[in-house]
Structure 1
Amino acid sequence: MLTQIDPKLSALADALSVPDGGFSIVAATGEYVTSGYAVSIYPERERIITGGVTGEDLADYLREHADALTLPGRVFGGWRDPASGAAFLDVSVTTRDLPTALALARAHGQLAVFDFAALTSISTDAAGLPAAA
């Protein structure tokens, strides 16, 4: 698992320096997730950083949440909210289905899901999309 400061963590931190910037990787391998929708499902593991993010911040998060990040289907995510400017680090899952992603996000109190095809966030309150049951 990526837990030491290395160029990959520095590059991931740099991805959080711009509005709506972010990443989703498989923590055990460092491979980028490239399809489907990412959803944070552990709000209690979310870390919010209001300033800049460093590779050390990411390494600390990975060490602290290794138990959840090693579960099958879990990924390490980071996102810079364009509205607030805050960076969010989390443990996420990915799904291929947008309605499922939005329902999971709403159930876990999330602001958005990330669409890998469009490379953008989709708000959980996006107009015209079905509300969670």
Structure 2
Amino acid sequence: MTMSLIDWSARISAMADALSVPDGGFSVKPDDGSDVRTGYAVAVHPEHERVFDGLVTSNDLHEYIGQAKDALSLPGRVLGGWRDPATGRVYLDVSVVTTDLSEAMTLARETAQLAIFDFSAMESIPVTVAA
């Protein structure tokens, strides 16, 4: 199912709102705008990571999606956003979602991520250094 332009506009506005609270965020499938609900989200395209020191607007999200559209069109990729509760910074990225915590941590270390997101617990998990 694809979304209309009006639906996407409302969806993007809701995503911007989700980034206005500490540890707020989203992981959205770019093909239909649905939320990811299970697994662990990991940003895997550092070249597409964008960091904002303040609030992110709908216009910021529209611009980001346009810039990252090639990566977002790859199989299994999702649009991710997260507000770091410690710093208030907002991170936008292209992520993958895996059901394996160990795999998620490995991917996160390989791409120098600060955290992954656990959909079961609905919270960020800081990336640990491999033992």
- TM-score normalised by L of structure 2: 0.92
Give 1:50's aligned residue.
53
Aligned with 1:118 (options 108, 117, 121): 121
Q: CA RMSD in A?
A: 1.8
Aligned with 1:70 (options 46, 54, 73): 73
How far is 1:27 from its partner?
A: 1.1
Looking at structure 2, the residues matched to 7 and 53 of structure 1 have their Cα atoms a distance apart, in angstroms, of 15
Give 2:104's aligned residue.
101
Identity among equivalent positions (%) equals 54
Structure number having the greater helix percentage: 2
Q: Does 1:27 align with 2:38?
A: no
- Structure 2 alignment gaps of length 5 or more: none
- TM-score normalised by L of structure 1: 0.90
Superposed CA offset, 1:50-74 (max 9, x none)? 1111111111111111101011000
Q: Displaced runs of 4+ in structure 1, greater than 4 A?
A: none
- Structure 1 alignment gaps of length 5 or more: none
Looking at structure 1, the residues matched to 12 and 81 of structure 2 have their Cα atoms a distance apart, in angstroms, of 11
AA at the equivalent of 1:86: R
Aligned with 1:61 (options 64, 76, 100): 64
Looking at structure 2, the residues matched to 48 and 61 of structure 1 have their Cα atoms a distance apart, in angstroms, of 11
